[in-house]
């Protein structure tokens, strides 16, 4: 199988497996797991913050951050369609008791800073919720994994801070952004008050995310983690993989993200040249996401290359991609996918599209 549905499908490396087997562990709810403590410290140092908190998932990282920053009746400002608004089972509303003000995101993954400024509520108006948090997503999923720059992050942070409101960065793929932009990851975090990043996505660990911020914020987030049932015991077994991933250089999983980005560009360049593939501008591939459409997918009958048939055709050739919002298809490159695999995918995609096209033309003739 060449599984491009997500970078969450990665298998842990042999070094991770060895580190997990040999990890020193203790009861982390008592703060006594040395491997978890080392991971939290390493993440905080790497991202230029005081302290870190190991959590089960990106969703939990964002949730405990919102619980730490917001109270019931508060509101967060975030991009429309971002994970925290649309992809986390409404945790901001269900668990935190906060509403979300979702604002349009541009094709580069940014929200217009002026629109963020306008989205703040009037704190003196008792009719309105109280704006308590701004959230950015870096990289930004729906715009094909666009990385947000340190200067943009600083601009948004300045707007929030002027109103006395913190900035949280959902950096599920923060290190992809750093590698794509050629900046240290800490530069993307400096302006933010808290950041979540995922170990279990492009960094190829089996489980986990880390939240970083001030010591005080992390203490509150730790209490929130307990509240949502996220207190773990001998979690060093999992944290050990994270320490391997965050190693500098070729031993770790950060520097190699450049290979995933190169593979994503290669895939996009190949796909964009295939008849039937639309809405794909390879120069917009900045990280490890490739998102594209199929010709005629929205027309009634005429030359429709069915997305389901395309994905099924790939699957019979041992390749998986995934349906994405707005009728699109997503492919994500990751650890374990090579340049040769990309060429195999392109050959298969060409075959599937050429098989599907004559049939769709015939069905178009039948319905016209
Ligand atoms: C941008 C973003 N934030 C948060 C998450 C949530 O991470 P998890 O699946 O570990 O809960 C995801 C998951 O894909 C994501 O893409």
pLDDT tens digits for range 163-193: 999 999 999 999 999 999 999 999 999 999 9
Burial of 63 (0-12, 13-18, 19+ CB in 10 A): buried
Mutating to test ligand 1, I would choose from 5, 9, 58, 143 the residue with most ligand atoms within 8 A of its C-beta, which is: 58
276 three-state secondary structure? coil
Whether the per-residue pLDDT at 364 is higher than 90: the answer is no
Atom of ligand 1 at shortest range from CA of 57: 10
Contacts of 326 (CB under 8 A, 6+ apart): none
Among 173-182, 208-217, 278-287, 350-359, the range scoring the smallest mean pLDDT is 350-359
Mean pLDDT, to the nearest integer, of 316-341?
97
* Cα 83 to middle of ligand 1, angstroms: 7
Task: Note the pLDDT of residue 357.
Answer: 74
Binning pLDDT at 50, 70 and 90, where does residue 361 land?
A: very low
- Round to whole Å and give the CA distance between 87 and 181: 26
Binning pLDDT at 50, 70 and 90, where does residue 101 land?
A: very high
Task: Note the pLDDT of residue 306.
Answer: 86
Residues of the chain with CATH 3.90.1150.10: 257-367
* Cα 88 to middle of ligand 1, angstroms: 8
CA angle at residue 171 from 219 to 107, to 5 degrees?
145
In terms of C-beta distances under 8 Å and separation of at least 24 residues, what long-range contacts does 341-346 make, across chains too?
A: 341/2, 341/263, 342/263, 342/266, 342/267, 342/270, 343/266, 343/270, 344/2, 344/319, 345/2, 345/4, 345/267, 345/314, 345/319, 346/267, 346/270, 346/271, 346/274
Q: Is there a cis peptide before residue 139, judged by omega within 30 degrees of 0?
A: yes
For residue 136, give the nearest of 102, 181, 94, 175 by alpha carbon: 102
pLDDT tens digits for range 121-173: 999 999 999 999 999 999 999 999 999 999 999 999 999 999 999 999 999 99
Q: Are 225 and 72 in contact (CB under 8 A)?
A: no
For residue 207, give Cα distances in angstroms to 20, 54, 141, 210, 322.
12, 10, 20, 11, 21
Nearest-CA residue for atom 7 of ligand 1: 58
Token pair of 60, please?
């939990």
pLDDT tens digits for range 19-61: 999 999 999 999 999 999 999 999 999 999 999 999 999 999 9
CATH number of 8-251: 3.40.640.10
* Cα 368 to middle of ligand 1, angstroms: 43
Mutating to test ligand 1, I would choose from 146, 172, 173 the residue with most ligand atoms within 8 A of its C-beta, which is: 172
Give the 3-state DSSP-derived string for 308-363, with helices as H, strands as E and coil as C. HHHHHHHHHCCEECEEECCCEEEEECCCCCCHHHHHHHHHHHHHHHHHHHHHHHHH
Atom of ligand 1 at shortest range from CA of 170: 3
Atom of ligand 1 at shortest range from CA of 198: 10
- Which strands, in side-by-side order, build the sheet including 74-79? 51-55, 209-213, 194-198, 167-171, 130-137, 74-79, 99-103
Residues forming a β-bridge with 322: 330
For residue 298, give Cα distances in angstroms to 44, 73, 295, 326.
47, 40, 8, 10
Residues of the chain with CATH 3.40.640.10: 8-251
Whether the per-residue pLDDT at 359 is higher than 80: the answer is no
On average, the pLDDT of the chain sits at 95
Mutating to test ligand 1, I would choose from 198, 203, 208 the residue with most ligand atoms within 8 A of its C-beta, which is: 198
State if residue 170 touches ligand 1 by the CB under 6 angstroms criterion: yes
Whether the per-residue pLDDT at 303 is higher than 60: the answer is no
Q: Rg of the chain over CA atoms, in angstroms?
A: 22
Token pair of 19, please?
């580190």
Q: Are 55 and 230 in contact (CB under 8 A)?
A: yes
State if residue 296 touches ligand 1 by the CB under 6 angstroms criterion: no
Q: What is residue 94's DSSP assignment?
A: I
Residues forming a β-bridge with 329: 292, 323
Considering the entire predicted model, what is its pTM?
0.95
Atom of ligand 1 at shortest range from CA of 58: 7
Length of the chain: 368
Whether the per-residue pLDDT at 283 is higher than 60: the answer is yes
Nearest-CA residue for atom 6 of ligand 1: 58
* Cα 60 to middle of ligand 1, angstroms: 9
Task: Note the pLDDT of residue 356.
Answer: 86
For residue 337, give the nearest of 7, 16, 13, 18 by alpha carbon: 7
- Which strands, in side-by-side order, build the sheet including 277-278? 277-278, 289-294, 328-332, 322-324
Provide, rounded to the nearest whole percent, the portion of the chain with pLDDT above 70: 94
For residue 287, give the nearest of 166, 201, 206 by alpha carbon: 201
Q: In this structure, which topology does domain 257-367 adopt according to CATH? A: 3.90.1150
pLDDT tens digits for range 246-260: 999 888 999 999 999
pLDDT tens digits for range 66-94: 999 999 999 999 999 999 999 999 999 99
Which run of H or E residues covers position 77? strand 74-79
State if residue 176 touches ligand 1 by the CB under 6 angstroms criterion: no
Provide, rounded to the nearest whole percent, the portion of the chain with pLDDT above 90: 92
Whether the per-residue pLDDT at 301 is higher than 50: the answer is no
Give the β-pairing of 130-137 and 167-171.
Answer: parallel
For residue 120, give the nearest of 90, 83, 171, 161 by alpha carbon: 161
């Amino acid at each position: 199988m060449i599984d491009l549905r997500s970078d969450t499908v990665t298998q842990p490396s042999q070094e991770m497996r060895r580190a997990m087997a040999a990890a020193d562990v203790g009861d982390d709810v008592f703060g006594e797991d040395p491997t978890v403590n080392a991971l939290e410290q390493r993440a905080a140092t790497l991202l230029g913050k005081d302290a870190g908190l190991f959590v089960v998932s990106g969703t939990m990282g964002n949730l405990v951050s919102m619980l730490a920053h917001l109270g019931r009746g508060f509101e967060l400002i975030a991009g429309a369609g971002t994970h925290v608004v649309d992809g986390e089972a409404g945790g901001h509303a269900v668990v935190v008791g906060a509403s979300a003000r979702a604002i349009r995101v541009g094709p580069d993954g940014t929200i217009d800073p002026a629109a963020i400024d306008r989205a703040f509520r009037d704190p003196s108006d008792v009719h309105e919720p109280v704006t308590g948090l701004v959230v950015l997503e870096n990289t930004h999923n729906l715009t094909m994994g666009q990385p947000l720059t340190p200067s943009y992050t600083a601009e948004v942070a300045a707007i929030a801070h002027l109103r006395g409101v913190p900035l949280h960065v959902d950096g599920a793929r923060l290190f992809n952004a750093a590698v794509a932009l050629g900046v240290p990851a800490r530069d993307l975090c400096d302006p933010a008050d808290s950041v979540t990043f995922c170990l279990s996505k492009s960094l190829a660990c089996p489980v986990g995310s880390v939240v970083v911020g001030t010591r005080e914020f992390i203490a509150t987030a730790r209490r929130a983690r307990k509240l949502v049932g996220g207190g773990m015991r001998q979690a060093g077994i999992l944290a050990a993989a994270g320490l391997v991933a965050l190693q500098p250089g070729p031993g770790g999983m950060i520097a190699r993200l450049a290979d995933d980005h190169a593979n994503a560009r290669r895939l996009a360049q190949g796909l964009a040249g295939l008849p039937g593939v639309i809405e794909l501008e390879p120069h917009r591939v900045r990280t490890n996401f490739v998102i594209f459409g199929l010709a005629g997918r929205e027309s009634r009958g005429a030359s429709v290359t069915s997305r389901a048939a395309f994905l099924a055709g790939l699957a019979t050739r041992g390749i998986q991609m995934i349906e994405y919002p707005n009728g699109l298809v997503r492919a994500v490159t990751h650890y374990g996918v090579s340049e040769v695999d990309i060429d195999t995918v392109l050959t298969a995609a060409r075959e599937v599209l050429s098989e599907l096209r004559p049939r769709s033309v015939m069905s178009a003739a039948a319905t016209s």
